[in-house]
Amino acid sequence: MRESAFALAVGGFTFLITVIWGDPFITILRRLGAGKQVRAEIADVHNAKIGTPTMGGLLIVIPVLIVTVGLNVVNFIVPNLTGRSILVPLAVLVYYGGLGALDDWEGIKGTRAVGEGLSARLKFAAQVVGALGTALVLMYGLDIHSVAIPGVAFKFDLGLLYLPIAVFVIVGFSNAVNLTDGLDGLAGIIAASIFAAYGVVALLQGQVYLMQFCFTMVGACFAFLWFNAHPAQLFMGDTGSLALGACIGTVALMTGQWLLLPLIAVIPVAETFSVMIQVLYFQTTKRLYGEGRRIFKRTPLHHHFELKGWSEMQIVQRFWLVEILASIVGVALALL
């Protein structure tokens, strides 16, 4: 229980220091001209958001980096305060945060079309490289190469098959959270809920240091939401969404309970599948009938409900309710 109390305290401390420097950070972004550019296809409903500071993911990445590294430094003085293993998800957070920051900056100041960042191929290649490096560290550095199945008392060793699976999980969820980031408060509250769920899973497994990292992430996400709540003063951009998604995938892999990730992270998964279904259906009907047809009014899924008349706050709150329930069920299955 002492470890749980410490993890919650670290999350609270992270929230506090992040909120304190939030306003100065937003001021810096405004002076740098880091205003959001809205893509043409969604300008009809989000035109009012043009110019709102983006790259707000730094408001999550930097405090988590400071707190986690600080605790590891103090660990040399007070042994067992934190564990070196949490440097793995931290490295993932920083790497994908850096990639997202480059993408955001290119979208703001670059020569490509309005709102367009790095080329899709370059960004995807960088994601795969980061995921492969992480998978190798997990397998050969931390000796993690198995999967847990709910109701089964032992984990199944996947051998070398673990590497492509880990790469898929990290890259897949990096992009899934990126697709989820489209409404004020949505990606932040969903990510916080997922990290909280996996924090509980880590506690159940006795991975107290991973639990500590998860609740540090929860504190930082909550602090970001302080400024991202509707109407948002700040957007996370790819700086935050790519980093949060990849970090979620890494944490899930470290617990071995990544089979539960599609359930615990049901909203990012639904957002991703809505895009995949829309594209597949459009291309298929175009070949069959000469004209592409759509299942959803617009994707990702939150835009579909926008065009159906739901308010931004209704969508965020209802998606969050679904996410909380799914997380509760996921943790329950992890208990089996």
| 92-144 residue pLDDT tens | 999 999 999 999 988 887 655 555 778 889 999 999 999 999 999 999 999 99
∠ CA 201-210-235, nearest 5°, is 95
Coil, helix or strand at residue 156: strand
User: How far, in Å, CA of 213 to CA of 90, rounded?
Assistant: 8
Closest by alpha carbon to 250, among 103, 123, 112, 90?
Answer: 90
User: HSE (CB half, 13 Å, CA atoms) of 291?
Assistant: 1
∠ CA 185-255-182, nearest 5°, is 20
User: How far, in Å, CA of 195 to CA of 218, rounded?
Assistant: 6
Closest by alpha carbon to 40, among 114, 127, 128?
Answer: 114
Confidence of residue 282 (pLDDT cuts 50, 70, 90): very high
| DSSP secondary structure of 21-46 | THHHHHHHHHHHT-B----GGGHHHH
User: How far, in Å, CA of 60 to CA of 192, rounded?
Assistant: 11
pLDDT in tens, 130-183: 999 999 999 999 999 999 998 888 889 999 999 999 999 999 999 999 999 989
Q: Is the pLDDT of residue 84 over 80?
A: no
User: Which residues on adjacent β-strands are paired with residue 53?
Assistant: 35
Query: What is the pTM assigned to this prediction?
Result: 0.93
- The owner of tokens 């599609």 is 262
